[in-house]
Amino acid sequence: MKILVAGYWGWLHYEESFSFALETLGHKIIPFKTSNYFNGHYGRFQEIIPFNGPAVMKLNNDLLDLVEKEKPEIFFAWRCTHLKSSTLKKINNKNIITVSYNNDDPFAKIHNIKLPWHHKYLWRMYLDNLQHFKYNYFYRKINLQESKLYKANNPNLMLPAFIPWKDLPIELNSDELLKYKCDVVFIGHYEKDNRVSYLKKIVKAGYKVKLFGGAYWTKDVLGDLYDYFAPIRSVYNLEYTKALCGAEICLVFLSKLNRDTYTRRCFEIPASGKLMLAERTEDLMNMFKEDVEACYFSNEEELVEKVYWLMSDINLRFKIAEAGKLRVINDKHDIINRAMQFIDNVKSI
């Protein structure tokens, strides 16, 4: 089938990899990149607060022109926050199957979770459109029920996935070992929860810990730990995988702002042949057997105890990591199988 994929197209593990997976299944992809439309200060303002300004108008007009030219069978909107309802209705009128997906949590604001100020406006157009899409995919189970408040058609779950050509065991050379080798690593964003105190406990216990992430990991956030971790930088794509492969234990902290009970790392880490030590949730425990295929913690004391237990036995670490890798492969948590699920569900409409 011919599938038009509209989205930001800024990260390998989102639209790009999913589209490549669809292409491997024999489908033709037409990309539409919303990131091309928000330039300059005024464009950036329209990006973080969607409204019917010049950039949004041009985006929607260009999208309709592309639909008219390519005549896709499926229009797939990946977290499209700037799509006008009138545009979506026109696409529906062409007998094109319209599908949405969102890897973020667009409903967190209704639970009074303290989010960045612009989130009050960010999801307005997206939420209005849920009733107009013929099919709606969500990242989290909790969002399926919440989407009904907005009359979402055919809400369904699509879990995150690992990317087989990126998330795989990598043997590091001597230079890479100098950069990435450690006892424990965390790769991810800062959030105002317990993650700083968790990291502090492991460092104080005497383990070598590495931290990779964005600009929000500041000295104000980390305090005395900042000098220990600095310089803190982001890692992407294969460099991200190498940073995982350099560690004996890979931590998973779950976003409270997104109300996560699992995240993409929960599939990427085992697929890369590494041991996952994650915050304990019922969903994760149902996916991976505790202390057999992955390990969990619920507080600082348990975290340090688990690190001590695992670092004391190299064979145990290897055994759990291998079992976790087999679990994500056998349960088909890769992006190609997610793409197959997508096509099968859409065909059923």
Span 271-294, pLDDT tens digits:
999 999 999 999 999 999 999 999
Residue 159 backbone phi and psi in degrees, to 5: -65, 155
| Burial of 324 (C-beta count, 10 Å sphere; 0-12/13-18/19+) | buried
Which range marks the domain in which residue 254 is found? 174-330
Give the sign of the dihedral formed by CA 6, CA 11, CA 14, CA 16: positive
Cα of first residue to Cα of last residue in the chain, in angstroms, is 15
How much is the pLDDT for 315?
A: 98
Same domain, 141 and 285: no
- What are the mean pLDDT values of the chain's consecutive 10-residue runs (349 residues total)? 96 95 98 94 89 94 98 96 97 97 86 68 93 96 94 96 97 97 97 96 98 94 95 95 98 94 98 98 98 98 98 98 98 98 89
pLDDT at 257: 87
Same domain flag for 207 and 341: no
List, as one string, the DSSP characters of 285-328.
HHHS-BTTTBEEESSHHHHHHHHHHHHT-HHHHHHHHHHHHHHH
- Residues 33, 123, single domain; the answer is yes
Domain assignment present for 88: yes
Please tell me whether residues 325 and 203 are part of one structural domain: yes
Residue 308 domain flag: yes
- At 164-204, the pLDDT tens digits run 999 999 999 999 999 999 999 999 999 999 999 999 999 99
Within a domain: 51 = yes
Q: Identify whether the C-beta of residue 211 lies closer than 8 Å to the C-beta of residue 186.
A: yes
Indicate whether 268 and 307 sit together in one domain: yes
Residues 192 and 61 in one domain: no
What does the pLDDT read at residue 349? 74
Sequence-ordered list of residues with C-beta below 8 angstroms from that of 308, at least 6 positions apart, any chain: 205
Alpha carbons 122 and 23: distance in angstroms, whole number: 31
**pLDDT value of residue 114:** 67
Q: What is the CATH number of the domain that holds 279?
A: 3.40.50.2000
Residue 77 lies in a domain: yes
Q: Report the predicted TM-score, pTM, of the whole model to 2 decimal places.
A: 0.94
What pLDDT is stored for residue 112 in this prediction? 56
- Taken in order 159, 299, 216, 248, the sign of the CA dihedral is negative
The total of structural domains in the chain comes to 2
Do 35 and 125 lie in a common domain?
yes
Other CB atoms closer than 10 Å to residue 175's CB: what's the count?
A: 8
Q: What is the DSSP string of 142-163?
A: HHHHHGGGGT-SSEEE----B-
Residues 74 and 98 in one domain: yes
